[in-house]
Structure 1
Amino acid sequence: MTTADATATTKATHGCALVVHGVGDLRLDPIQPAEPHPDEAVVEIAYGGICGSDLHYWLHGAAGESVLRQPLILGHEVVGMVKVAAANGHGPAAGTRVAVHPATPGGTGVRYPEDRPNLSPGCTYLGSAARYPHTQGAFSQLAVLPARMLRPLPEGLSLRTAALAEPASVAWHAVARAGDVAGKRALVIGSGPIGSLAVAVLKRAGAAEITAVDLHEEPLAIARSVGATHTILATDSEAIAAVEADITVESSGNYRGLNSAIRGTMRGGKVVMVGLLPTGEQPIAISLAITRELELLGSFRFNSEIDDVLVALADGSLFVDPVITHEYPFNESLEAFSTAKDSRLSGKVLISFTPSAMQGAD
């Protein structure tokens, strides 16, 4: 991949990057150096978390309606250290440890609430094929990123834990969509990384009871470790329906999970839909949602929540460490992706981009 293939949003600048070329075709490609614009900083990437969208590009050549049309550098859940600060003086100084807010809001003339830039129709996201040319990601040893994306880490927050800042912000935004959850009964359908992080956010927000649901025991164990007071296997439909939650977070991204969410929510309750279902029509028990007067709330990415998340991670009020279950060096990225796709055994899988993690690489 050359710099001509990359957008101005982000350009990997050193060594190699993790690039998906098509279904099942994931490569460590050499990349050409790129000069940062005055408002861009060079960031030495330390960790990258594998997201479901990364897996979808690899396994299916698409994530929802975002179809791969050119080689794409993956990765938007990244943290690292500023190697070269932006020349215009904006953003963190060299040597600053940073998390990355991967969104670039933008409008196309379609209406949306101005205070919710995550809904802007022209918004781009690192490592996304939603637009062409694609918005290249940051799974590379060095990446050039707009300085406005960079968030300095609070003192005492490790880079490894901070690698969860982006998905934790997604979970934080989802819980916030439900309003005040203090003292309420919560249900979380799907206990993968986003679901378990939603459990952690609900606990911090003061939910009185938190029931987590999943098909497998290992994700439920993770959910318990970050705050779930009860767990249920997804096959036990009667137990799920008996929860009668005030607030349900649906994070499975499956119509069966959404149906379970509807059935497990009390009359007049709220269902926050953060799991992204496949495009097209879905067989949903919508009549039950109508007769129970449920509020069905969509939740998409996040806005400024990442700033609050970093503070909460640093002060320990948001405990998420058990969500990270595996870490692989950059040169073992394919093994990392193979582990991440097995939800029975893994939570959040991290790739380490540090030189020590690359020992033994070709």
Structure 2
Amino acid sequence: MLGCVIHGQGDLRVDELPPPPVGPGQALVAVRYGGVCGSDLHYWRHGGVGDFRLREPLVLGHEVVGTVLSYGGASGPGPGGPPPGAAVAVHPATPCGVCPECVDGRRNVCRDTRYLGSAARLPHVQGGFAADIAVPAEQLRALPPGLGPRRAALAEPLSVALHAVRRAGSVAGRHVLVTGAGPIGCLVVAAAKAAGAARVTVTDLLPRALEYAAAAGADVLVRADDPADAGWPPEVDTAVEASGVAAGLDTCLRLVRRGGVVVQLGMLPPGRSPFAGNLVVSREIELRGAFRFDTEFDDALALLAAEPRFDALISAVVPLREAESAFALAADRSRSCKVLLDLEA
């Protein structure tokens, strides 16, 4: 079978892979679509994501949907589990369940988690950009009625956005600022609106990115490089930094009201990042991190089933054999938002 494998910085290949062994408690899934994530692009362009560096070839991908083929051993789907032939989304995280974070109900920051397509541990956890994958059966979620696999491929990044908005606390009736209108930033817009935000302002450098943010439900669009843009608000109640650059965090800290909340969602470059810490003190701003997600995955699927506007964020679907061109397109935010790989094309 074919799979999309990163061998090193800039070395992305579509390789022939052996069929995966399916053990007890696992399901074999035929992957249909996989979303190209910012972390996939970092592995391709930089050989790592933050402090996670490539040390061996890695099948990329963690935003995947497909069809259940079979179950390993005699386990079967389990009570209520999706039967063979069911369309499913795959929750990409396997938390350990025993560390202090898992016990405390914060499994998304489990210190010993396994995450599809991640170089955080060695051996690396191979990802979902392959024709067939074996995953823990408990990580399968049957697609709700009315949700097709193409839109369902957004479930993982939408879960990230839902978690970030929840980290901010209640946003109902409030003005939310989102810095960065990449795929995650656009999904944060949708998540904030779904949570009752009265107004969402989005900043970005690229006009095309801001158009996608508008499709996601943004009320005000601001060119981040234009201090004279009339859309700049005097202040906001809550801010979510989704660009992953220090300048975005600085904007959030300077525009959020006194006593407001800033959520850092974008992954900043490794090492030290300067920020206006004096404002955190003098304005009693709460600065919170947001990393991945947990139970939000089920909520994301329900929201995707109910809201067709998410289709507008899928800018291209590219056959697996053309993976490198798909990555190049996904990296060019002047031309794309979310790019999907089609594993069956």
TM interval, shorter chain, is: over 0.9
Match of 2:8 in 1: 22
Equivalence map 1:284-299=2 (5 Å): 284-299=275-290
Match of 2:339 in 1: 349
Distance in 2 (alpha carbons) for counterparts of 1:253 and 1:167: 15
Distance in 2 (alpha carbons) for counterparts of 1:146 and 1:197: 27
Pair 149,243 (structure 1): closer, same or farther in 2 beyond 3 Å: farther
Asked whether 1:100 is paired with 2:90, we answer yes
User: Contact 2:96–2:102 (CA<8 Å) still a contact in 1?
Assistant: no
Match of 1:35 in 2: 21
Across the aligned residues of Structure 1 and Structure 2, the Cα RMSD in angstroms comes to: 1.6
Match of 1:313 in 2: 304
Distance in 1 (alpha carbons) for counterparts of 2:123 and 2:331: 27
Asked whether 1:132 is paired with 2:119, we answer no
User: Contact 1:211–1:230 (CA<8 Å) still a contact in 2?
Assistant: yes
User: Contact 2:186–2:213 (CA<8 Å) still a contact in 1?
Assistant: yes
What secondary structure does 1:170 align onto?
helix
User: Contact 2:34–2:62 (CA<8 Å) still a contact in 1?
Assistant: yes
Pair 103,112 (structure 1): closer, same or farther in 2 beyond 3 Å: closer
* Aligned-residue offset at 1:108: 8.0
Distance in 2 (alpha carbons) for counterparts of 1:183 and 1:238: 27
Distance in 2 (alpha carbons) for counterparts of 1:235 and 1:35: 51
What secondary structure does 2:121 align onto?
coil
Distance in 1 (alpha carbons) for counterparts of 2:221 and 2:232: 13
Asked whether 1:188 is paired with 2:190, we answer no
1:334 pairs with one of 324, 329, 335: 324
> What amino acid is the match of 2:45?
L
* Aligned-residue offset at 1:35: 2.5
Asked whether 1:88 is paired with 2:78, we answer no
> What amino acid is the match of 2:57?
P
* TM-score of the aligned structures, taking structure 2 as reference length: 0.95
User: Contact 1:83–1:95 (CA<8 Å) still a contact in 2?
Assistant: yes
> What amino acid is the match of 1:43?
V
Asked whether 1:76 is paired with 2:67, we answer no
User: Contact 1:108–1:121 (CA<8 Å) still a contact in 2?
Assistant: no
How far does the alpha carbon of each residue in 1:291-323 deviate from its partner, in whole angstroms, 9 at most, with x for none? 11111010000001111111111122x742221
2:235 pairs with one of 217, 222, 244: 244
How far does the alpha carbon of each residue in 1:104-141 deviate from its partner, in whole angstroms, 9 at most, with x for none? 11278666662111111111210000000000001011
User: Contact 1:237–1:260 (CA<8 Å) still a contact in 2?
Assistant: no
Pair 156,110 (structure 1): closer, same or farther in 2 beyond 3 Å: closer
What secondary structure does 2:85 align onto?
coil
User: Contact 1:181–1:247 (CA<8 Å) still a contact in 2?
Assistant: yes
User: Contact 1:57–1:63 (CA<8 Å) still a contact in 2?
Assistant: yes
How far does the alpha carbon of each residue in 1:51-83 deviate from its partner, in whole angstroms, 9 at most, with x for none? 111111111111111110000000000001101
What secondary structure does 1:320 align onto?
helix
Q: Which runs of 5+ in 1 are unaligned?
A: 1-14, 358-362
Distance in 2 (alpha carbons) for counterparts of 1:32 and 1:139: 13
Distance in 1 (alpha carbons) for counterparts of 2:222 and 2:242: 15
Distance in 1 (alpha carbons) for counterparts of 2:322 and 2:2: 13
Match of 1:11 in 2: none
Q: Which runs of 5+ in 2 are unaligned?
A: none
Identical aligned pairs, as a percentage? Answer: 49
What secondary structure does 2:172 align onto?
coil
User: Contact 1:244–1:266 (CA<8 Å) still a contact in 2?
Assistant: yes
* TM-score of the aligned structures, taking structure 1 as reference length: 0.91
Deviates more, 1:79-88 or 1:234-243: 234-243
User: Contact 1:241–1:264 (CA<8 Å) still a contact in 2?
Assistant: no
Match of 1:10 in 2: none
Asked whether 1:276 is paired with 2:267, we answer yes
Asked whether 1:266 is paired with 2:257, we answer yes
How far does the alpha carbon of each residue in 1:18-65 deviate from its partner, in whole angstroms, 9 at most, with x for none? 000001111111111233002111111010000111111111111111
Asked whether 1:149 is paired with 2:139, we answer yes
> What amino acid is the match of 1:37?
G
* Aligned-residue offset at 1:85: 3.1
> What amino acid is the match of 1:290?
V
Match of 2:248 in 1: 257
Distance in 1 (alpha carbons) for counterparts of 2:58 and 2:35: 16
User: Contact 2:101–2:107 (CA<8 Å) still a contact in 1?
Assistant: no
How far does the alpha carbon of each residue in 1:195-219 deviate from its partner, in whole angstroms, 9 at most, with x for none? 0000011111111111011010011
Pair 286,236 (structure 1): closer, same or farther in 2 beyond 3 Å: farther
